Amino acid sequence: MNDGGGQAKEARLVAVCRERGLTLATAESCTGGLIAGRITSVAGASAVFLGGVVSYANAVKRDLLGVPAAVLERAGAVSAECAEAMAEGVRTRMRADVAVSVTGVAGPDGGTPQKPVGLVYFGVATAGGVLAERCRFDGDREAVRAQAADRALELLLEATGTLRR
C-alpha cells in the first residue's frame, strides 16, 4: 500500500534494511502471511527477509516459536505477552536483526467482551528488547487483516529506522 509519500511501506522497508544491513523475520497469526507476502512482493527482498512463520495454532506458537505454555494458558494467544514471545521466538530462531509478530481476532466470530473482533497485538523484537502494542481495528475480516499487516510494516519501519548492524 502506498504510504502517501509515493512508495509502498514494504518497498521502503526493504530499501532501509538493505541500506543498513539488517535482516527481518515475521511471526503471523491472524494475518496469515500477509506481512511476509507484502515484503516478498518487493524485488530484492531476499537480501533482507529471512522468513516467516504462520502460527495459527497455539501448538505452533508453543513448539515452533517458543511461546511458553503458561503464557498461552494465563493470557491467551491474543495478548501482549504472546505477541512479545512470538516476536522474540522468530527473531532468535531465524537469527534476524528485527522481527514482528501479529496475533488477534480478525472475525467475524471468535470475539469476546474481553477480546473483541478487531483486537490485535503486535510484538517487535530486536537485540535491544521486545515491545508490544495493542490496536483495535474496525471493519470486516479482510479489513482487520489488511490494517494489521499495514501497522506491522509501520512498526518494522520504526524499528529499523533506529537500528544499525
Parse the chain into domains and list their residue ranges.
Answer: 9-160
pLDDT in tens, 18-34: 999 999 999 999 999 99
pLDDT band at 162 (very low <50, low <70, confident <90, very high): confident
For 9-160, CATH gives 3.90.950.20
141 to 53, 79, 107, 110: CA distances (angstroms): 20, 19, 5, 11
pLDDT in tens, 74-105: 999 999 999 999 999 999 999 999 999 999 99
Mean pLDDT of all residues in 126-135: 97
